[in-house]
Amino acid sequence: MADVGMTDGRELRADCGSCFGLCCVALPFAASADFAVGKDAGQPCHNLRDDFRCGIHGTLRQQGFAGCTVYDCFGAGQKVSQVTFGGHDWRRAPGTAQRMFEVFPVMRQLHELLWYLTQALALPRARPVHDELRLALDETERLTLRDPGALVELDVAAHRQQVNTLLLRTSELVRGEIPRRKDRRGADLIGAKLGGADLRAANLRGAYLIGADLRRADLRTADLIGADLRGADLGGADLTGAIFVTQSQLNAARGDTATRVPDTLTRPAHWAAPRGAGRRR
């Protein structure tokens, strides 16, 4: 069985080679701009191979499955596969399939919380709440180790609310030194023209930034937890020190090599070169 315990380093990145293709089976998706076809929960994607790998992994975007390229389980897939179910896959043990598919979305939420809590603990300005953050981290990890039945019955929404209270306090501590911070929490900014905007330390939690023009925007130390960045243009934007940004948010957005991203994340391969790159002066 793969060692995916979190006592040392915490495995919060997806390891598809240690997972039984759970995101390709357990979750439903509808035919849309993100998925070329739809499927029901519990139904394997037609691109899933017998070895639980994706048959079109290298060309997902080109074949209309951009949604797959932005999904992140935060390591929940291998945790369910190798720890909760002890390495017994749903194909060889079909009696476990339904329960495994029910557990996966719960585990994914818990692992997302582990990721946010780990990020919060790495922020020096959040030191006043570090002890509480560690307690929340340990409790969340204990929840991930419950048996399948207990995980399915878990009130994960209530636990998320408790953790979110701590994350809000963390956000205020980190952003507190910037005066006149913009509060756009949950704002409808779909398609907004925010090119070059000063959004330092802004509260953009849960904001709808779908298709927004954020080129050259200053997003340093902004709180982007839960912000919807699908199709947002981050070309040349500065996200240095932005808090609670996930890799999936960057993957869903557009950017270029001039975009500055947090050190903990990777610039998506599909991002373009800066506009005007390569032109003669």
Q: Average pLDDT, stretch 41-47? A: 94
Q: 3-class DSSP state for residue 54?
A: strand
Least confident span in 56-70, 124-138, 181-195: 56-70
Global confidence as pTM? 0.90
According to the model, what pLDDT value does residue 211 have? 97
Count of other CB atoms within 10 angstroms of residue 267:
13
- 8 Å CB contact between 169 and 129: yes
According to the model, what pLDDT value does residue 179 have? 79
Q: pLDDT confidence of 276, banded at 50, 70, 90?
A: low
According to the model, what pLDDT value does residue 178 have? 82
Query: Could you give the CA distance from residue 93 to residue 78 in angstroms, rounded to a whole number?
Result: 17
Read off the pLDDT of residues 215-264 as tens digits, 9 standing for 90 and up: 999 999 999 999 999 999 999 999 999 999 999 999 999 999 999 999 98
Contacts of 4 (CB under 8 A, 6+ apart): 11, 15, 18, 75, 78, 79, 82, 83
Longest dimension (CA), the chain: 66
195, with CB counted inside 10 A (0-12, 13-18, 19+), is middle
pLDDT at 40 over 70: yes
Tokens of 192: 């907004």
Q: pLDDT confidence of 195, banded at 50, 70, 90?
A: very high
Q: What is the average pLDDT score of the chain?
A: 92
Q: pLDDT confidence of 11, banded at 50, 70, 90?
A: confident
Read off the pLDDT of residues 77-119 as tens digits, 9 standing for 90 and up: 999 999 999 999 999 999 999 999 999 999 999 999 999 999 9
According to the model, what pLDDT value does residue 274 have? 59
Read off the pLDDT of residues 144-183 as tens digits, 9 standing for 90 and up: 999 999 999 999 999 999 999 999 999 999 999 887 789 9
- 8 Å CB contact between 115 and 14: no
Domains (ranges, CATH) in the chain?
16-174 (no CATH), 180-273 (2.160.20.80)
According to the model, what pLDDT value does residue 280 have? 36
Report the C-alpha dihedral over residues 238, 244, 248, 252, rounded to 10 degrees. Answer: -40
What is the percentage of the chain residues whose pLDDT exceeds 90? Answer: 86
Query: Could you give the CA distance from residue 226 to residue 4 in angstroms, rounded to a whole number?
Result: 26
According to the model, what pLDDT value does residue 4 have? 40
Query: Could you give the CA distance from residue 19 to residue 89 in angstroms, rounded to a whole number?
Result: 9
Q: Average pLDDT, stretch 190-217? A: 97
